[in-house]
Structure 1
Amino acid sequence: MSSVKVECVVNPGTLLGEGPVWEESDQKLLFVDIAGQKIHRWSPSTNQIESVGTDDTVGFAVPRRSGGYVAGVGRSMVAVDWSTQKTTTLAKVDEDKPNNRLNDGKVDPAGRLLAGTMSKDDSFGGNKPGSLFSLTSDLTLTKLQGQVDISNGMDWSLDQSTMFYIDSLSLSVDAFDYDMVTGQLGNRRVVYRMKEGEGLPDGMTLDADGRLWVACYNGGRVLNIDPATGVRLQTISLPATKTTSCCFGGPDYSDLYVTSASLGLSQSEIKQQPDAGATFRVRGLGVKGRPSHSFAG
């Protein structure tokens, strides 16, 4: 077993880091600060960071094939022109639920954007006010799933027939049958149920071997899970309890980047974990990830 090394690589004063995406073309890491209302791009080779501010919470940002990004700002999916820092609204969701906001989003292998909502007040009341939506290249918006508490991590199996999905408060990682042609979901089932002390499942990614890496909010760890057996294969500990999401990156996709949050920590907790809010890089895992997909619209 190779020795695993965890290092803090970038922290632009992040409150609620989320949604890391590796950009192959520029060899940069894209991530957001939801509460800080910023989209960040960081270059590991130069250690330079560029940021664009948003006028509301930003749940995710993903690359767009035609250039720029699509981000979930408030309850709107918006196109972001990085050079001018201008945003254009593509679609609005949950217009009848002013207390909701967009959270995690990811692009499927066919180029659709899937993104979900949650309540803005962190009451964790379990009244399931959120939903999961898909946006196609012609900007058709479809509600795929209702009755969601905190819509979170998503990824697709190697054969593209299964979508993995997390509704954090259900304390499980679930799978759906996924029709890549139509984008429809079916046959929901539990792949992994969280154990005592593991925290809330949050963002996740799938590696080139078809295994899941799940960031655990309030758990300070990333779990490596075999979705075929539901077995936890490995636990990576992070020096920040509020670990939020992860993705593979680097020239050969062997680096695991993990985002975290400082928001909600007490003064004494922040003293104990000064790197809370940072993005970490984990090396020596002996596995590789896969390139991300760009929105086709």
Structure 2
Amino acid sequence: MSSVRVECVVKESCLIGEGPVWEESDQTLLYVDIVGQKIHRWSSATNSIQSMATEHTVGFAVPRRSGGYVAGVGRSFMAIDWSTQTASPLAEVEQCELTNRFNDGKVDPAGRLLAGTMAIECPGEKQGSLYSLNSDLTVTKHFNQVSISNGLGWSLDHSVFFYIDSLNFTVDAFSYDLNTGALSDRRVVYQMECDEGIPDGLCVDAEGRLWVACFNGGRVIHIDPNTGVRLQTVCLPASKTTSCCFGGPQYSDLYVTSAGLGLDLNQQPLAGCTFKVSGLGVKGRPSDSFAG
């Protein structure tokens, strides 16, 4: 088995780094700093970062087929024109819930954008919901009673949607209708163990298995969703690991974001940095882009 190597590739610390997406065309890593209120693009070729500030917290940014990105800013889906560094609203959710914000978001293979909300102050009160932004820019609400909406992904045949509500300490699965975006038959595919931390962002590899970042766990765990077995643990030099995606040559590297907020950087100097894990022996898949 190849030896696993963990390297800090983006040394600029985020307060809460999140939502990494590999952009194949430019060999760049797109990610956000949620409470730092910025969208970042790191170039693997030049080791440089381009950034854009947002007016509120930014939970995610994903590529858009027509160009630019769609970001979850506050409680709004926003169109991002990177060339002009401007944002324009597409749709808003929860107009009455002023204490919520978007957290994680990801695009399904049909081009829908699924994203969830969470309470800014008291996530344990479960006042978040999961939504999808459809290609015609209408919004569908799937369910509520969410603590911290996180980790989204799809099985290789697109028939299963994986989802994390962090404070449930489980990785869940739904039956997924790609034609309609409908969710059904929620079940648990992995129960976190007591030393693993809080399940956060996830990605799916080319073998259909899951990689889950563990907040307060300083690790990413590799899970077989069919058996509920943890196959591998990758430890990182930052306790608040937040999310992950595959990228690099043939999608053979795993990029992992982290948070530095609330940590003593003298004790954890790499907290909030972004890491590259190589030598895993598995590959990922390209991300999908929003169709609207």
TM class by shorter-chain length? over 0.9
Residue pair 2:152, 2:163 contacting (<8 A) in 1 also: yes
Q: Secondary structure at the match of 2:203?
A: strand
The one-letter code sitting in structure 2 at the alignment partner of 1:178 is Y
Q: Counterpart in 2 of 1:195?
A: 193
- Report the alpha carbon displacement of residue 11 of structure 1 after superposing the two structures with TM: 2.9
Asked if residue 274 in structure 1 is aligned to residue 269 in structure 2, the reply is yes
Q: Which residue of 2 aligns with 1:239?
A: 237
Aligned-pair CA distance for 1:14: 1.0
1:293 to 285, 288, 291: 288
Q: 2:247 aligns with which of 233, 237, 249?
A: 249
Greater displacement, 10-19 / 128-137: 10-19
1:29 matched residue in structure 2: 29
TM-score (ref. length: structure 1): 0.97
CA deviations on 1:195-228 (whole Å, 9 max, x unpaired) are 0110000000000000000000000000000000
Alignment of 1:112-151 (within 5 A): 112-121=112-121, 123-124=122-123, 126-151=124-149
- The SS at the match of 1:272 is coil
Shift of 1:293: 0.2
Please list every run of 5 or more consecutive structure 1 residues that lacks an aligned counterpart in the other structure: none
Q: Percent identity?
A: 71
Q: State the Cα deviation string for residues 247-289 of structure 1 (Å, max 9, x = none).
A: 0000210000000000021x3xx22210000000000000000
Cα drift, residue 189 of structure 1:
0.1
Match of 2:209 among 202, 208, 211: 211
Q: Tell me, in whole angstroms, the C-alpha distance in 2 between the residues paired with 1:138 and 1:264.
A: 40
What is aligned with 1:162? 160
For the residues of structure 2 that align with 1:95 and 1:169, how far apart are their CA atoms?
24
Against the structure 1 CA distance between its residues 93 and 11, is the aligned structure 2 distance closer, same or farther, given a 3 Å change threshold? Answer: farther
Paired amino acid for 1:187: D
Letter of the 1:225 counterpart: I
User: Match of 1:19, SS?
Assistant: strand
Measure the CA separation in 1 of the matches of 2:13 and 2:151. Answer: 23
Alignment of 1:71-150 (within 5 A): 71-121=71-121, 123-124=122-123, 126-150=124-148
Deviation of the 1:184 alpha carbon = 0.3
CA offset digits 1:92-129 (Å, max 9, x no partner)? 011111000000000000000000000111x34x2210
Deviation of 1:163 after TM superposition, in Å, equals: 0.2
Q: CA-to-partner distance for each residue in 1:136-193, whole Å, 9 max, x for gaps?
A: 1100100011110000000000010000000000000000000000000000000000
**1:39 and 2:34 correspond:** no
Residue type of the alignment partner of 2:151: G
* 3-state SS in 1 of match to 2:144: strand
Corresponding letter in the other structure for 1:198: E
Give the TM-score taking structure 2 as reference length: 0.99
Please list every run of at least 4 consecutive aligned residues from structure 1 whose deviation after the TM superposition is greater than 3 angstroms.
Answer: none
Match of 2:10 in 1: 10
- Distance (Å, rounded) in 1 between the aligned partners of 2:202 and 2:247: 14
Shift of 1:25: 1.3
**CA shift at 1:13, angstroms?**
3.0
Q: Distance in 2 between matches of 1:234 and 1:264?
A: 28
Q: 1:173 matched to which residue of 2?
A: 171
CA distance in 2, matches of 1:235, 1:273: 20
Cα distance in 1 for residues equivalent to 2:178 and 2:88: 27
Aligned-partner residue type, residue 288 of structure 2 = H
- State how many pairs are aligned: 292
Distance in 1 (CA, whole Å) between partners of 2:231 and 2:249 is 25
Tell me the distance in 1 between the aligned counterparts of 2:253 and 2:46. 17
Consecutive unaligned residues of structure 2, counting only runs of 5 or more, are none
Instruction: Find the aligned partners of 2:262 and 2:111 in 1 and give their Cα distance.
Output: 35
Give the corresponding residue for 2:261. 263
* Distance in 1 between residues matched to 2:175 and 2:183, nearest whole Å: 6
Give the superposition deviation at 1:235: 0.3
Code of the aligned partner of 2:6 = V
User: Which of residues 280, 283, 290 in structure 1 aligns to 2:278?
Assistant: 283
Query: What SS does the corresponding residue of 1:166 show, helix, strand or coil?
Result: strand
